[in-house]
Amino acid sequence: METGTIEETEQEREQREQAEREAAGEPGEGAGDPPGEGEGEQAQTALAIPGVGQLNLQVGGAKPEVSTVKLRGGRIEIANSGQFRKGEIVNLLLKVRVDEVHFVDKHDNTTGDLTQSERRHIAKQIGVEKVE
């Protein structure tokens, strides 16, 4: 072993030799096996979705009876609003972007029947204005 070099492990050597054989056009070990079917390997299936645009999430179940929106992003700053009196009712117009939708079905524990279907939305505030 030369000074300043790192010794190659047996696995690294085998991988390098396999790459060299493939580059030279020679079949390597297990050349007849399909990719991902060698010892200790699992085949990975590529999922191709034809078409363009958004996926349609047909989740089944009942039509939601309740929809909830949880706002993310902390406090809301209202520009040019001055201050509010204690107990004052303030009307705000929020502009939010829905980032997540959760499909929640509630079932009766004894019968297993669906009792309620809910859609939970997580939204981030992107604009607000005070409405007079």
Residue pointed to by tokens 């179940």: 61
Residue 18 lies in a domain: no
Domain count of the fold of the chain: 1
Taking CA atoms, 104 is separated from 22, 56, 70, 71, 108, in Å, by 51, 18, 14, 18, 14
> Is 44 part of any domain?
no
| Residue 100 structural domain | 66-131
Dihedral angle computed from the Cα positions of residues 49, 52, 53 and 55, in that order, rounded to the nearest 10 degrees: -20
Instruction: Tell me the mean pLDDT in the region 41-64.
Output: 66
In a domain, residue 15? The reply is: no
> Which tens digits make up the pLDDT trace of 104-117?
888 899 998 888 88
User: Is position 88 within any domain?
Assistant: yes
Q: CA-CA distance, 121 to 117, in Å (whole number)?
A: 13
Evaluate if residue 80 carries a pLDDT over 70.
Answer: yes
